[in-house]
Structure 1
Amino acid sequence: MATHTQILFVNRPKPGKLDPSFVFKSVSKPRPKASDLKDGEILVKNLYLSFDAAMRAWMGELKTYRDPLQIGQVMEGRSASIVLASKHSAHKPGDRIVGSFDWQQYTIVQPDNPKYGLESVPDGVSLKDVQYVAGMTALTAYFGLIDVGGASKGKVVVVSGAAGATGSMVGQIAKCLGCRVIGIAGGPDKCKMLVDQLGFDAAIDYKVDRREFTKRVNEVIGRRGYDVYFDNTGGMILEVLMNRMALRGRIVVCGSISAYEGTQDPRFALATGNLIPTRGRIEGFLVTDYIDRFPQALTHIVSWYKDGKIKPLQTTVPG
């Protein structure tokens, strides 16, 4: 009997850096076959699986914007895949698709079931690049920056977690809009990459002591302050940035990596006093709030990608 690999979620991560050997387990299971298909189903081969920062929140015990993962289940996630067999009128073998097909080599999918979030891969986008260019992190960056943050030409945009999937896309979209872009990342190599490869105007290394980080923030952002801060980290970085907001500036709360990893200083308390004189706004959001506008956003992002204005930033690990 032919088998395939599934990745199970077997332990909730401990505070600190995630240990894959503790959290996940690889198992062999009978492989789904074309003969197993029922009417309205397709068989897909999953080629590229996404691993996004938000997944860390799913692994905890508490409900966030969704229910937590259950111990022993197949790890959830989106995949760039190819259709191998079909009993669905809208799909044929060879079609390139993305969807929530979980961490396994093969999946039987019901395309009409919204839980899979199935989408066709846009023409001109490779399967390798589609998770970055047209995935949930790209859509999160787009709507958070433009709809929540109100970014537009000439504004100053700061983004933390800038070397990650969402943060790097935020910065590149902001450049496409004509903004001045400042990225915050960990270490000189990442900061150099943001400027040299992705075209950020400046980058700030947060892996220094707080006094030095604050000094650097003040120097780079300048007296006027920023118009939009896209926050992926929370913690100390957010606390420092609260004090550099321009008049009617906005803070877009997307993630809290410092809390996911258990590294947030327990003494941290958000000082909101600066919101009053600046008439500032701090707002969280979920990308699923904009699901009816996904096609519109993808049209813009894919166009920028084809024009060479957005460069995929991803790490591919053979599995």
Structure 2
Amino acid sequence: MPKNRQMLLDNRPQGEASASNFKLVETDTPALQEGQVLVRHHYLSLDPYMRGRMNESKSYAASQALGEVMIGGTVGEVVESRHPDYAVGNHVVGMGGWQEYSVVNANEPGMMRKVDTSRVPLSAYLGAVGMPGVTAYYGLVHIIDPKPGQTVTVTAASGAVGSAYAALAKARGCRVVGIAGGPDKCRYAEQELGFDACLDYRAYNSDVYALAKALKEVCPDGIDGHFENVGGWIMDAIMLRANAFSRIALCGMIAGYDGQPIPMANPALMLINRMRVEGFIVSEHMQVWPAALKELGELVATGKLRARESIAQGLESAPDAFLGMLKGQNFGKQLVKLI
């Protein structure tokens, strides 16, 4: 059995996370038992939710245990199998974590599934045709539920969730406006992802009313639905332009992942506008995954969703790539290539 390099959570962040919170180790891969499969990971997914798991605090899921392999989605190839449903060479997606190999008990439901790479690239199963894509689908289709002609917005517009959200919303006849960090990301959102407009939040220097004024120009009919990944002052600006009976799908609050409270400037707008604001965790809605993955796979295969990827090389690069992603340094879905 091969040697396996693993990235562990060594200690918890005190405020902002740092590379010193992680530790790289090498271990022996255990021999397979009946029903198990050995997977060689090709790509590791880095996602904002991981930052919250590093804390030891109340959340929707248990904290990442110290001294254990960091949680994370992976795609790879079966290199040894003692399970009849998985053959050597099968491509699979699962939650293998920050390591080069994983031993998976294939009899446990939901641990791993085979994927078809004939029309969809393997890496896309960690982004557009994976958890981020399904996240965009659930928030848009099941919470915002837009009608053709309505205006919907999304923060972190050029990222894995935002890019899928745009394709799904355009397919439903919506006007789609994004907010992203930097002119290059906004240009990409407009020219390649199909956004009707994209605003660079950095140009407004945390001025809620300046951003709200810009939103008024690109959303002349107001905002009917919003997908929130960030929180903070940007969400305050969105709420100033929200229509009566608008909906907010609350998915991420990256502005508060370092443990600081996120004040809301004008919560009375939720009442004034009779808004529906609903937080959700996509893993709690597994019933929507088949329909979502089918639509997302077709969008990617037909070129209607061309999501960009930022790829770091090697497991040792994962901590810095992760920290950079939290600061918006990535462009599109952040991955680590492990082969």
Aligned to 1:29: 27
Query: 1:289 offset after TM fit, Å?
Result: 2.8
CA distance in 1 between counterparts of 2:237 and 2:25 reads: 45
Equivalent residue in structure 1 for 2:193, among 194, 198, 201: 198
Equivalent residue in structure 2 for 1:48, among 43, 47, 69: 43
Structure 2 CA distance for partners of 1:221 and 1:261, relative to 1, 3 Å: farther
Query: 1:297 offset after TM fit, Å?
Result: 1.2
CA distance in 1 between counterparts of 2:179 and 2:292 reads: 25
Aligned 1:161-180 pairs, distance under 5 A: 161-180=156-175
Aligned to 1:59: 54
- Deviating above 6 A after TM superposition, structure 1's stretches of 4 or more consecutive aligned residues are none
CA contact (8 A) 1:83 1:96 kept: yes
Aligned 1:225-304 pairs, distance under 5 A: 225-262=222-259, 268-304=263-299
CA contact (8 A) 2:40 2:100 kept: yes
CA contact (8 A) 1:205 1:213 kept: no
Structure 2 CA distance for partners of 1:279 and 1:64, relative to 1, 3 Å: same
For 1:227, give the aligned amino acid: D
Equivalent residue in structure 1 for 2:301, among 301, 306, 312: 306
SS in 2 for 1:218: helix
For 2:251, give the aligned amino acid: C
SS in 1 for 2:123: helix
Aligned to 1:4: 4
CA contact (8 A) 1:100 1:115 kept: no
Between 1 and 2, higher relative CO (CA 8 Å, sep ≥ 6) is seen in: 2
Instruction: After superposing the two structures, state which structure 1 stretch, 272-281 or 213-222, moved more.
Output: 272-281
Q: Deviations over 1:81-127 (max 9, x none)?
A: 110111111111111110011111111111122362x1221342121
Are 2:92 and 1:97 equivalent residues in the alignment?
yes
Q: Deviations over 1:141-195 (max 9, x none)?
A: 1011110111242221100111222122212221222211111111212111111
Give the TM-score taking structure 2 as reference length: 0.86
Query: 1:269 offset after TM fit, Å?
Result: 2.6
CA distance in 1 between counterparts of 2:95 and 2:27 reads: 19
Q: Mind listing any 5+ residue stretches in structure 1 that lack a counterpart?
A: none
CA distance in 2 between counterparts of 1:76 and 1:148 reads: 27
User: Alpha carbon RMSD of aligned pairs, Å?
Assistant: 1.8
CA distance in 2 between counterparts of 1:214 and 1:275 reads: 16
CA contact (8 A) 2:92 2:114 kept: yes
Aligned to 2:113: 119
Structure 2 CA distance for partners of 1:27 and 1:172, relative to 1, 3 Å: same
Query: 1:317 offset after TM fit, Å?
Result: 0.8
Equivalent residue in structure 1 for 2:127, among 127, 132, 143: 132
Query: 1:295 offset after TM fit, Å?
Result: 1.1
CA contact (8 A) 1:235 1:264 kept: no
Query: 1:46 offset after TM fit, Å?
Result: 0.7
Aligned to 2:183: 188
Q: Mind listing any 5+ residue stretches in structure 2 that lack a counterpart?
A: 315-339
Structure 2 CA distance for partners of 1:264 and 1:186, relative to 1, 3 Å: farther
Give the TM-score taking structure 1 as reference length: 0.91
